[in-house]
Amino acid sequence: MAPPSKIEGLPPSAVRLIGSGQVITSVFSVVKELIENSVDAGATAIDIKLDNYGLDRIEIIDNGCGVKVEDVPFMAKRHYTSKITSTDDLLSLHSYGFRGEALASLCSVADVTITTKTKTDDLSYTYTIDKEGNVSDRKPSHLGQGTTVCARNLFATLPVRRQYYNSSQRRKDDVKRVEEVLIAYGIIKPQLRITLKHGKDLIWQKATMNDSKAVLQHVLGRQIVNSMLNITRELETPKVSLTVFIPKAGTDVKAMSRSSSDRTFLVVNNRPVHVKEFVKVLRQYYDNCHACESVRHPICYVSVTLPTQEVDVNVDPNKTTVFLQNMHEVRNLLEEILLEVYGPLENVPSWHYAESAPPAGKQ
């Protein structure tokens, strides 16, 4: 075995690139981070433009509050944020962002300019940001109130990743994921106007809408949504509010789920998330009650609202995994609705539905 090498600190540029590569993993993660910033900034309209599937250029234009001139030098500095000031704030999060990592990470893996103007500024400026997150240039711009982030040459500093995404299938898949995440935010924020363009092609858009149901109709079609039930249940202790749109019993879910896109919209405290416990229980009931084989993408919208201190969103860099303090109770509440709508699962012991815990040794 080779003798151990001396232990040394990595140079800051290597630390930056290693960390950034974990936050900005794909075109999808860039768009997700930037639209979260736009929503946090109170935007009511967001336009997303991609060139070469986002690898050459990703541009996100919003009409939010903009960045104040005095904050501009810090907006792309790592761990600088306007959203929280202490660890206590992590327990009462009301914004999507809180780590101050996205813009800093993006700058180290792409060439970034940010154009911004607040309500009180006379003029907008386009700032060029270097790899360290510092402003290296400033030019006046004609854009109105809001912020436009433009990232060119994504992953030029991570050639293996750039090559990985350059495969035609992966590029297309990544744009599909962008579309899906925009749909998810569209459902969560019905009032938000969104457009997604690839080159000159309009890929997806939504106008301002009144409620999540209208957005679901826009995305899934009226016929499908009209054959769904909208049910809301609440618990006092622990405090939980659960809203679902699920197909009525007997609907041919498989025919409805033919789409290759994910039509399972799971939301916790207004955040699109992946919760495998919810997916598992939904699949069980859909498989059992709809006389069809395994449903890969159960059509549904499940939105859970919980006290912020009972949700940990700081689990993975993309914030799509969440830990719930009372997962058992939330899952049971969802199962209660599914049981009511679809009837009991076949071949499941009766204690499965009992309020008490299963007999020892059975899980």
- Is 64 near ligand ADP (CB under 6 A)? yes
Q: Which residues pair with 109 in a beta bridge?
A: none
By C-beta, is 102 or 192 nearer to ligand ADP?
102
Sign (positive/negative) of CA torsion 102, 108, 109, 112? positive
- Is 37 near Mg ion (CB under 5 A)? yes
Query: What is the C-alpha separation between 126 and 135, in angstroms, rounded?
Result: 10
By C-beta, is 79 or 200 nearer to Mg ion?
79
By C-beta, is 83 or 176 nearer to ligand ADP?
83
Query: What is the C-alpha separation between 109 and 130, in angstroms, rounded?
Result: 10
The contact pattern for Mg ion, residues 44-83, with x = CB under 5 A and - = no contact, is: ----------------------------------------
Q: Tokens 């790592």 sit at which residue?
A: 78
By C-beta, is 47 or 329 nearer to ligand ADP?
47
The contact pattern for ligand ADP, residues 138-167, with x = CB under 6 A and - = no contact, is: ---------x--------------------
* Shortest CB 116 distance to ligand ADP, Å: 7
- Spell out the alpha helix ranges (H) of 24-151: 27-40, 102-109
- Is 102 near Mg ion (CB under 5 A)? yes
Are 57 and 151 in contact by the 8 Å Cβ rule? The answer is: yes
| Amino acid present at 304 | V
- Is 65 near ligand ADP (CB under 6 A)? yes
Residue nearest to ligand ADP (CB): 97
By C-beta, is 128 or 288 nearer to ligand ADP?
128
Which structure tokens are listed for 212? 């999540």
Among 26, 29, 81, 251, binds ligand ADP (CB under 6 A): 81
Residues in Cβ contact with 217 at an 8 Å cutoff, skipping those fewer than 6 apart: 225, 226
Number of residues that bind ligand ADP (CB under 6 A): 22
Q: What does the DSSP 8-state code read for residue 177?
A: H
Q: Is the peptide bond before 238 cis (omega within 30 degrees of 0)?
A: yes
- Is 75 near ligand ADP (CB under 6 A)? yes
* Shortest CB 66 distance to ligand ADP, Å: 6
* Shortest CB 224 distance to ligand ADP, Å: 33
Residues in Cβ contact with 301 at an 8 Å cutoff, skipping those fewer than 6 apart: 187, 212, 216, 243, 244, 245, 265, 267
Angle at 116 between CA 155 and CA 148, to 5 degrees: 40
**Residue 67 interacts with, from Mg ion, ligand ADP, none (CB under 5-8 Å by kind):** ligand ADP
Which structure tokens are listed for 279? 């997916």
Are 133 and 19 in contact by the 8 Å Cβ rule? The answer is: no
- Supply the angle between the helices 102-109 and 12-23 in degrees, to the nearest 10: 110
Q: How far is CA 147 from CA 79, 98, 123, 160, 279, in A?
A: 20, 18, 12, 31, 36
The contact pattern for ligand ADP, residues 102-141, with x = CB under 6 A and - = no contact, is: xxx-------------------------------------
- Is 251 near Mg ion (CB under 5 A)? no
Are 302 and 216 in contact by the 8 Å Cβ rule? The answer is: no
Stretch that binds ligand ADP, among 78-86, 189-197, 221-229, 239-247 (CB under 6 A): 78-86
**Residue 247 interacts with, from Mg ion, ligand ADP, none (CB under 5-8 Å by kind):** none
Among 54, 64, 97, 317, binds Mg ion (CB under 5 A): 97
Are 249 and 243 in contact by the 8 Å Cβ rule? The answer is: no
Stretch 190-249 residues interacting with Mg ion (CB under 5 A) = none
* Shortest CB 155 distance to Mg ion, Å: 19
Query: What is the C-alpha separation between 143 and 67, in angstroms, rounded?
Result: 13
Interface residues with ligand ADP (CB under 6 A) are 33, 37-38, 41, 62, 64-67, 75, 81-83, 97-104, 147
Interface residues with Mg ion (CB under 5 A) are 37, 97, 102
